[in-house]
């Protein structure tokens, strides 16, 4: 591991995130098939989710890759943050569904970062998440939560990891 990355990890203990993607836009299979299994996380258009990317997410943080807006939503894989943030080019593209005419190249509103898929898992659906007492406080399970990026505690990460690995 490069020295700079070691120092960053010492200064910032690992953090964990749940990132939602619609499988018809980018599924865990799509991410795994991408070069280096890495995809740019475009289209985030919520300020709180953007601020998580900008202010809190760090290279190497763990990601629960979550399929949303589909017949069976749930955790479909494990990934990691693979880059820092940069402007999301879709905000400047008039042909993109994520175009934001108010955002300017010299003052971009929206950011992206790269996510590297590590493995596909069995689907851990919403019902199973809700039926796991240790996960009762998970942000994604809170009523009215629609954020595409939410923090996951180290304890929640461990519980989900054990359940996905059959332990």
Given a cut of 90, is residue 76 above it in pLDDT?
yes
Structure-token pair, residue 132: 């796991």
The residue whose two tokens read 């970062």 is 113
Of the candidates 154, 152, 73, 83, the one whose C-alpha atom is nearest the C-alpha of residue 116 is 83
Check whether 7 has a pLDDT greater than 80.
no
Domains of the chain: 3-85+113-161 (3.10.590.10)
Number of H helices, E strands in the chain: 5, 8
- Report the distance separating Cα 43 and Cα 110, nearest Å: 8
Residue 167 confidence class, pLDDT cut points 50, 70, 90: low
Q: Is the pLDDT of residue 12 over 60?
A: yes
Residue 6's pLDDT is what?
52
The CA–CA distances, whole Å, from 39 to 1, 82, 134 equal 22, 9, 31
Q: What is the mean pLDDT of residues 112-137?
A: 97
Q: Is the pTM higher than 0.85?
A: yes
pLDDT classification of 165: cutoffs 50, 70, 90: confident
Alpha carbon of 4 to those of 35, 47, 113: distances in Å? Answer: 24, 29, 19
Report the C-alpha gap between 150 and 64 in whole angstroms. Answer: 10
């Amino acid at each position: 591991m490069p020295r700079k990355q070691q120092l960053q990890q010492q200064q910032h203990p690992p953090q964990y995130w749940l990132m939602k993607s619609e499988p018809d836009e980018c599924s865990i299979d799509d991410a795994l098939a991408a070069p280096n299994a890495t995809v740019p996380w475009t289209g985030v258009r919520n300020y709180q989710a953007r601020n998580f990317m900008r202010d809190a997410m760090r290279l190497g943080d763990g990601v629960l890759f979550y399929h949303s807006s589909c017949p069976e939503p749930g955790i479909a894989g494990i990934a990691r943050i693979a880059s820092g943030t940069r402007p999301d080019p879709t905000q400047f593209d008039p042909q993109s569904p994520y175009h934001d005419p108010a955002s300017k190249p010299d003052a971009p509103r929206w950011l992206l970062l790269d996510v590297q898929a590590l493995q596909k898992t069995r689907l851990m659906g919403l019902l199973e998440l809700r039926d796991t007492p240790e996960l009762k406080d998970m942000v994604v399970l809170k009523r009215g939560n629609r954020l595409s990026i939410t923090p996951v505690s180290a304890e929640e990460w461990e519980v989900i990891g054990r359940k996905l690995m059959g332990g």
